[in-house]
Structure 1
Amino acid sequence: MTTTPTARWRKRAAVAATGAAVALVPLAAHAATIVTINYDAQGTSHIAKTNSDVALGPTTLRTDLDIDTGDFTGSLPLPGTSTEFKIAGFLPVKANVDFVEAAPLTGNINLTQTQAQVSSTATYYVKLSNIKVAGFPTFAGSKCQTKVPVTIPVGTRPDEGFDLINGGELVGTYTIGKFENCGINTPLINSLVPGSGNTVDITVTNGVIAE
């Protein structure tokens, strides 16, 4: 008997959740279809305008997956990080960076294919603090952040897949908007940071189905 890719993914989720014995037992028609899977996640974002990198994680990606439709919601809380770049090629700037979740992570895993494809969207406010130019603090305050949340779409590359348990690589490109509440440094920050063409690359591994 031939099984569809979706059926194979459902079976794989069942096995991981309840043990290898479940592999021989069809999922009951009344069984819940939502499976919570937690992954290890770590990556990097490249900020185009400053030509600098920002570390993302390590952290835990939490997903609540409907294995019938492939739709999921979740969260990807990112620990505080930092960035360094130079103004005019010589004046060093350092700043702490926080990504504050503004909405739940949403997305879909296309389980109808043998090689599953992921598309998702994360939304954060980007906050800057402890900004120093040439070692001198700029006193941007504690409320310096993007005026509106930054939407970051990420997904699998067209020629790569995502494994429900082993994970995979997620990539995307996004735009950073204008900042506000940065004191007298608001014009400087808005001339340096906002812009398009920023990239993100996150490796997701070690999927564990929550009990």
Structure 2
Amino acid sequence: MRLAARRSILAVAAAATAVATTVAASPGASAAPIWTLHYTAKVSTYVKKPGKTVNFTGTQTTMVDIGALKNNVSAALSLKPGTMTVDLPLIPGLVTIPGIATATLQIEPTGPAKGNFDSGNIDVTQYFNVQVTKLTPPVLSFVNLVPDTCKTATPASMHLTGKITNIFSPFSMHTTYTLPSFANCGLLTGVITSLTSGSGNTVTATFTPAAG
């Protein structure tokens, strides 16, 4: 009964969002339906150490194998860059120089998020790098203080969870994550790590069914 209910929910969702349907057959087995769902994405993350919120927008393509009970979700996320104002704490908690630079950040997934959809509950794990593509002082916006190799030394990971209660409406997923140290940022590698890396960061990702 639970499998039949999930089939019904996903079938209506696919029709409502006008997404493409593909059918994949595994060797020696009958055809297993795989729904391909397209979303617009809004991702907001609060980076705890600098106390900054960074917003990203983009798209996500989600494939759901409705013939499987577990490991039935694969989601490919593509986000545009986001920006964050950089402050310099001279005496942490007491004296800070605000707005010494603007950082442009790019989220780089190492692959699709993988996880489960069951009875309206969805959970996926996403591995990703964060690249600092630009670090520019306010009066010299044409100057980039970091090389194009500046990114997290190892991929970060997040386990996102959410609930789909209305297939015609957006749904959100939430989690916390740890931002690793940065590497290959030239002379500013240590500074960038000290200002941003650490645990207790939060993220909310909202997905809206895309037409067409």
TM-score w.r.t. structure 1 length? 0.79
Q: Paired residues, what number?
A: 189
Residue 164 of structure 1: CA displacement? Answer: 4.9
Residue 32 of structure 1: CA displacement? Answer: 2.5
CA distance in 2, matches of 1:54, 1:174: 14
Is 1:66 the counterpart of 2:65 in the alignment? yes
What whole-Å deviation, never above 9, does each CA across 1:103-144 have from its counterpart, x for those lacking one? Answer: 221111123xxxx11111112110013213564656211110
Is 1:109 the counterpart of 2:113 in the alignment? no
The percentage of counterpart residues that share the same residue type is 26
Instruction: Compute the RMSD of aligned alpha carbons.
Output: 2.4
Is 1:153 the counterpart of 2:159 in the alignment? yes
CA distance in 2, matches of 1:18, 1:206: 11
Change (3 A) 1:135 1:32: same
Counterpart of 1:9, as a letter, is R
SS, match of residue 189 in structure 2: helix
What whole-Å deviation, never above 9, does each CA across 1:151-182 have from its counterpart, x for those lacking one? Answer: 122111xxx54545534111110011011110
2:7 to 5, 10, 16: 10
Contiguous gaps of at least 5 residues in structure 1: 20-28
Give 1:1-211 correspondences, 5 Å limit.
4-17=1-14, 30-57=30-57, 59-68=58-67, 69=69, 71-88=72-89, 89-92=96-99, 93-111=101-119, 116-133=120-137, 135=139, 137=143, 139-156=145-162, 161-164=164-167, 166-206=169-209
SS, match of residue 201 in structure 2: strand
Counterpart of 1:132, as a letter, is T
What whole-Å deviation, never above 9, does each CA across 1:50-76 have from its counterpart, x for those lacking one? Answer: 10011121x221111011325211211
CA distance in 2, matches of 1:162, 1:149: 32
Contiguous gaps of at least 5 residues in structure 2: 17-28, 90-95
Contact preservation (8 Å) 1:45, 1:55: yes
CA distance in 1, matches of 2:133, 2:9: 44
Change (3 A) 1:143 1:14: same
